Amino acid sequence: MDINIILAGVGGQGILSISAVIGVAAMEHGLDVKQSEVHGMSQRGGAVVSHLRISDQPIFSSLISMGEADMILSVEPMELLRYKPYLKKDGFLISNTKTVVNIPNYPEEQVLFAAIEKYPNRVLLDAETLAKKAGNVRAANMVMLGAAADHLALEPSYLEEAIKHIFERKGERIVQLNLDAFNAGREAANQYLATV
C-alpha cells in the first residue's frame, strides 16, 4: 500500500496541521510516513506545499515525483491547480472553494472553477463556512482533512484518534471542536460526491 498526497495552500493557512494528523495516524498504526514541509520565506503569504507519503514498505524520498500523487488536498483553489502535474491519471482532487486573493493578477473565479470542474475525481467545499458551523473558522483545516478522510486508505477512526492525541494539550473543548469540524468535512464530501 502506497499513498502520496500533495497538500497545498497559501503561507499562513496552516496546512501543516493537516499533515501532522495524517502522519501521526499512520505512524501509530505501524506504517512508514514521510512528509516534506515549507518553512521560511514563502510562509509570508506565498504558495506553500507539503508532500506526504504513507506506505507499508520503507519510504526513501520525502518528495513525490511528477505524476505520482494519489491526491491533491488544497485549502485554496488556485493552489490546487498549481500542483496538477503531480497528480496520477486517476488521482483525486479535494479543495476548499474560498479564494485567497493577495496578488493583483488572480484569475477570475468563474474561469478558475471551470478549470477545476474539468476533472471528474473531485470534491469542492467551503471549509470556512463549515468550520464556522462547527464552532470556529480556525478549524477549517480539520474540515479539509475530514473531506479527504474516506480517500486516504487509512481508517477515518485512526484520524480521529490522532486529532485527539494532537489537540489533547489544548483541552477537551478544542478536541471536540476539531472532531466536529472533521466530521462536518467528511459528511460534506460524501454529499458532494453523491450529487456530482
Footprint of other proteins (CB under 8 A): 10-11, 19-20, 23-24, 27, 32-47, 59-63, 65-67, 78-79, 81-85, 102-103, 105-107, 111-112, 115
Which one, 107 or 156, has the nearer CB to other proteins? 107
| Location of C-alpha cell 475530514 | 146
Smallest distance from other proteins to CB 15, Å: 13
Smallest distance from other proteins to CB 66, Å: 4
Helix (H) or strand (E) holding 8: strand 2-10
Q: Is the dihedral of CA 27, 70, 101, 144 positive or negative?
A: negative
Query: How many Cβ atoms are within 10 Å of 156's Cβ, its own excluded?
Result: 17
Q: Which three cell numbers stand for residue 126?
A: 467551503
Q: Within 13 Å and on the Cβ side, how many CA atoms surround 43?
A: 9
Which one, 21 or 130, has the nearer CB to other proteins? 21
Smallest distance from other proteins to CB 193, Å: 23
Q: Helices in the chain by DSSP H: which ranges?
A: 16-28, 77-82, 109-116, 127-134, 140-148, 156-167, 172-195
Which one, 111 or 194, has the nearer CB to other proteins? 111
Smallest distance from other proteins to CB 126, Å: 21
Smallest distance from other proteins to CB 11, Å: 7
Which one, 65 or 191, has the nearer CB to other proteins? 65
Q: Which three cell numbers stand for residue 28?
A: 501509530
Which one, 5 or 177, has the nearer CB to other proteins? 5
